[in-house]
Structure 1
Amino acid sequence: MDKQRRQWLAQAAALGGGAALTSWGVRAQGDYPARPLRLVVPYPAGGGTDTVARLIGQKLSQNWGQPVVVDNKPGASGMLGNDIVAKAAPDGYTVLLGITAMIQSPGLYKKIPYNVERDFAPVSLVARSSDLFVVPNRVPARTLAEFVALAKASPGKLSYGSYGNGTSAHLHGEQLKMRAGIDLVHIPYKGAAPLVSDVLGGQVDSAFVDVTSANAYVTSGKFRVLAITGTQRHKALPAVPTFAEAGFAGFEPNGWFAFFLPAGAPRDVSSRLSAEIVRITRLPDVSQRLADMGLQPVGSTPEELAAVVATDTPKWARIVRDAHIQLD
């Protein structure tokens, strides 16, 4: 682990302690929040990230008596919104709801306008997500092993769809090709909705679909789920194995939704925001809503989020490097 990553973990641990002054010299604010919060979502309205942001933001507003304004800033694979928060005043009033792409982008793009571990303060990991590997009913495979056998029998003939170049789905698809020794044609879609539509219509031979987009259909019988990324099975699909259980290691890193502040935010502000997000995430109605989206509710401390970022960043970078994926 490099020096900067160790320092970031140490700073996150300090945030969890709730000290009165930051090591970066920003004075704490005991009356926080004294005005509205801006919650930046680096993706369009209506998507999973937006839904999570509005769910948590509404509860924050209700409890704190201050408006939480969700500000959708899509563009450049989330980097536009991320950069807005990275360069915002570190006063606790500009908050980011980020996703896994934050730590995948540095391996995919030569130039990133920020450094995740230098420019952001971790607050709380709200929920974990997974990708489902699915096939339409016309494909005869009923297990991952059977699909691999089909692909090996017809190299370069079968396709896999992803919800975009450089997404987790793309990385998982290339990883499956490497791990299984199969040749699949990658078909990138512009988002999960058209991908799911084509899976339902049988226009693509297989796909990695994020669980929030596929959740409404997982028990419909309209396609088959052969495996799930991450470390846990889907509650609605207890018979579907994880990739590790199916004999393919390396698919363990989960997707996630997490809150960040600009680096240098006062420690008591970060600690208060983190504690409130943890409390909200564990409310029965919020926890159930996240579960209904196919997510695993978490609610973590800043240091727990920092550890996830520090652990998973090199894993994603290794997949990108080994698969020779470059987007610019």
Structure 2
Amino acid sequence: MHKPLTITRRSFAGALSALGLCATSAAFAQGADAYPRQVIRIVVPYPAGGATDTLGRVMATKLQEAWGQTVIVENKPGASGTIGNDMVAKSPPDGYTVLLAITAIVQVPALMPNLGYDVMKDLQPLAQVASTNSLLVVPKSAPVSTLKEFIDLVKANPRKYNFGSYGVGTSSHIQGSLLNMQAKLDLTHVPYKGAAPLLQDLRGGQLFSAFIDMATARPHLEAMKPLAVTGPRRNPLLPEVPTFAELGYHSFEPLGWFALFMPSGVPAPIAKKFADEANRILHLPDVIQRIEGLGMTPGGMPTADFAKVVREDAAIYARIIREANIRLE
């Protein structure tokens, strides 16, 4: 004889909760199946025409082809990228507003502690689109050909030599400051408003050295000598140039990168669908060729692996910025 079924208040509540979770999961899954249903915006927090903008338009074109849905690039420059970053961080978490950011997104929080958003809490990384080494370069006319010769010359001539950067707080400034600290140098920092004036002075010999990303340096390599590269391994375009790590220096391992982010509240199935499609696109032969043609290495690593890169790079840059006392005036 069967015992009568007894339902307690707690078990009934638990059953309802379980049903609710199932319904929510099903709704999210259906949402991902239907996604995208409207225009997707890729926000580029820098002006049109630069490398970030170019990569954003490559991704937009391919996503539109794959999904048959309009994908637009919207440039929102200003304040070291923080205007565009903030806009996406505070956008509705529906998967229709995407950010194409650069490494600065994990550097700026240590430089501007009163940001209106928290990179680690308000944004979720989806896919690394491309990465690039930075090079320590000197003019072709400089009397040095190796990093050791460079360091010996600077030490033998106190307060005589300088290094240029794209501006205060940029990767090139952080890397130059790191070399100053580790090699115990006194290179004077000369900040420029972007790459163009820096390259002009470097080519003209008015500037002694600079950290320049590979994509920017590539068209000008005939006028300069690369002494060392950042990153965990040598750049295949310059296989003869050693890494800083090979030469005994640390914390130069982070690469410069370009990556896609969404607001943290976007449901996981939708974020995953976008990330998976972006990573598929980044393995297409024509996309690889286009990115390599810009002097960069194509991305496409698993999302979890890139999220780890974001966390680790943020910690490294925060420490360097603090120890070098770099501040945005």
**Cα distance in 2 for residues equivalent to 1:29 and 1:236:** 40
Residue aligning to 2:5: none
Structure 2 residue aligned with 1:54: 57
- Any idea what the Cα deviations from partners look like across 1:259-301, whole Å, max 9, x if unmatched? 1111110212111111111111111111121112221112123
2:178 is aligned to 175
* Secondary structure at the counterpart of residue 31 of structure 2: coil
Q: Which residue of 1 aligns with 2:323?
A: 322
Asked which structure has the greater CA Rg, the reply is 2
Contact 2:32 2:273 in 1 (8 A): no
Question: Secondary structure at 2:233's aligned position in 1?
Answer: coil
Higher mean displacement: 260-269 or 27-36: 27-36
Matches within 5 A, 1:25-40: 28-40=31-43
Name the residue aligned to 1:184. 187
Q: Deviations over 1:105-133 (max 9, x none)?
A: 11111311110111012211122222111
SS at match of 2:317: helix
Q: Is the 8 A contact 2:168 2:327 kept in 1?
A: no
Q: How many residues are matched? A: 306
Counterpart in the other structure of 1:143: 146
Task: Tell me whether 150-159 or 245-254 shows the greater mean CA deviation.
Answer: 245-254
> Shift in Å at residue 258 of structure 1?
0.8
Q: Residue 172 of structure 2 contacts residue 212 of structure 2 at CA under 8 Å; is this kept in 1? A: yes
SS at match of 1:247: coil
> What is the percent sequence identity of the aligned residues?
49
1:167-189, CA deviations, whole angstroms, 9 ceiling, x for partnerless residues?
Answer: 01000000000010110010111
Work out whether residues 20 and 268 of structure 1, in 8 Å CA contact, stay in contact via their aligned partners in 2. Answer: no
| Aligned residue runs from structure 1 range 96-175, under 5 A | 96-175=99-178
Matched, 1:42 2:45: yes
**What does residue 249 of structure 1 align with?**
250
- Tell me whether 1:223 sits opposite 2:237 in the alignment: no
Q: Residue type of the partner of 2:273?
A: R
Match of 1:28, SS state, is: helix
Q: CA deviation at 1:302?
A: 2.5
CA contact (8 A) 1:160 1:205 kept: yes
Match of 1:280 in 2: 281
Instruction: Select 2:198's aligned residue among 195, 200, 208.
Output: 195
1:88: how far off?
0.3
The amino acid of 2:228's aligned partner reads A
CA distance in 2, matches of 1:49, 1:126: 10
Deviations 1:225-247 (A, max 9, x none): 11111112122211001111122
Q: TM-score, normalised by structure 2?
A: 0.89
Query: Which of 67, 75, 87 lines up with 2:90 in the alignment?
Result: 87
Distance of 1:245 and 1:49 partners within structure 2? 30
Q: Could you tell me how far apart the structure 2 residues matched to 1:288 and 1:28 are?
A: 34
CA distance in 2, matches of 1:28, 1:59: 22
CA root-mean-square deviation: 1.7
Which stretches of structure 1, 4 residues or more, deviate above 3 A after TM superposition? 19-22, 25-29
TM-score of the two chains, using structure 1 as the length reference: 0.90
Distance 1:205 1:135, change over 3 A: same
Whether the aligned pair in 2 keeps the contact of 1:21 and 1:27 (CA below 8 Å) is no
Partner of 2:241: 240
